[in-house]
């Protein structure tokens, strides 16, 4: 069987081809799945997509009409997928439920330290042989307070690094993580965490309850010299509200690896045409802000784990098995080695 993979990065392609070798043929495309590219999938029973794929109603209907029955998304997040429509169309959708938490946690800390120690500005200066220190004054993290919003696997990894810096630890989540508590983390309400933390890092999924969890009210209670890092999902931060606070001269630094309107922008070269997103254009002009293009997960270790999980998702589908990675079960359709697929039921 030939599988079609959308949005494959050049670094990722040899790893995907190696993982699928001897199992299935795989055709890798560097274009991302959207309403314009969806017709390419006609005739492919199985496709694989990247985190920024458009899997809304229109695209899903195009895929189903073209014969697609299974979508293997190469990411943990699935806020880009209309699961209700996928279920109605009897499309099986699977994701990668976990991969190296260290990749994201370490990158979040990279952003935090880069804005704290003004690394981008310093490098820009030294390239011009300007070796002044004016404007590069940072501060120690030791003894300060880290606020971790979401203390799952990635949040825990971030917390362990913060503990290594000798920071006081505040946490917020719907359930406490004993491993974080053992490091001395105190769980508090969000408002107290925002008000008392010198560094705030976001590690929660994007759900209706977390949409704009960092909005105008949250930003208003943060310390004027706080550092904010988001390496989770762009929609956690109300970017317009953030720009308003930055224009007022607040915050030591902000590190964003994600952006709420990143679809169609991130992973694409816009350098020769510019962008029409005024909010993002304004955001990147602030000297205390670093924006990267959703690359926190992008280590060889994590990418290999993501690909291995995707291969397993495809294997399970063909064998008629269901795993915890399945977001939408399929109507029995495919006769695998183990018999027909599992019937539709709630994930």
Question: Active-site residue numbers?
Answer: 233, 262, 294
Which among 335, 257, 323 is positioned nearest to 72, based on CA atoms? 323
Which among 31, 61, 66 is positioned nearest to 46, based on CA atoms? 66
Give me the phi and psi of 288, to 5 degrees please: -100, 20
What CA–CA distance (Å, rounded) separates 271 from 290?
17
Give the sheet arrangement for strand 253-256, strand by strand. Answer: 186-187, 168-172, 145-149, 199-202, 227-230, 253-256, 289-291
Place of tokens 């045409």: 273
At 325, list the tokens. 């990675």
Q: What's CA 125's distance to the chain center, in Å?
A: 31
Place of tokens 């997509």: 49
């Amino acid at each position: 069987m030939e599988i079609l993979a959308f949005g494959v990065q050049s670094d990722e392609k040899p790893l995907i081809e190696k993982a699928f070798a001897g199992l299935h043929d795989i055709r890798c495309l560097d274009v991302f799945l959207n309403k314009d590219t969806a017709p390419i999938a006609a005739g492919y029973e199985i496709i694989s997509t990247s985190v920024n794929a458009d899997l809304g109603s229109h695209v899903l209907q195009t895929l189903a009409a073209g014969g697609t029955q299974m979508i293997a998304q190469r990411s943990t997040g699935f806020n880009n997928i209309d699961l209700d429509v996928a279920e109605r169309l009897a499309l099986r959708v699977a994701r990668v439920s976990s991969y190296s938490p260290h990749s994201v946690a370490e990158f979040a800390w990279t952003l935090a330290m880069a804005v704290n120690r003004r690394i981008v500005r310093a490098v820009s200066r030294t390239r011009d042989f300007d070796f002044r220190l004016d404007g590069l004054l940072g501060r120690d993290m030791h003894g300060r307070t880290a606020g971790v919003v979401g203390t799952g696997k990635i949040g825990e990894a971030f917390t362990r690094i913060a503990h290594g810096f000798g920071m006081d630890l505040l946490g917020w989540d719907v359930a406490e993580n004993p491993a974080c508590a053992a490091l001395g983390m105190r769980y508090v309400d969000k408002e107290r965490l925002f008000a008392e933390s010198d560094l705030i890092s976001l590690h929660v999924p994007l759900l209706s309850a977390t949409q704009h969890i960092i909005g105008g009210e949250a930003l208003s209670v943060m310390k004027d010299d706080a550092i904010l890092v988001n390496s989770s999902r762009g929609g956690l931060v109300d970017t317009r509200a953030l720009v308003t606070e930055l224009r007022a001269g607040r915050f030591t630094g902000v590190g964003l690896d994600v952006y709420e309107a990143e679809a169609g922008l991130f992973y694409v070269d816009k350098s020769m045409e510019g962008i029409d997103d005024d909010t993002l254009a304004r955001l990147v002009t602030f000297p205390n802000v670093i924006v990267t293009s959703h690359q926190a997960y992008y280590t060889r270790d994590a990418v290999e784990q993501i690909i291995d999980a995707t291969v397993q998702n495809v294997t399970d589908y063909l064998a008629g098995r269901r795993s915890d990675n399945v977001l939408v079960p399929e109507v029995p359709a495919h006769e695998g080695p183990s018999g027909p697929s599992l019937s539709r039921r709630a994930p």
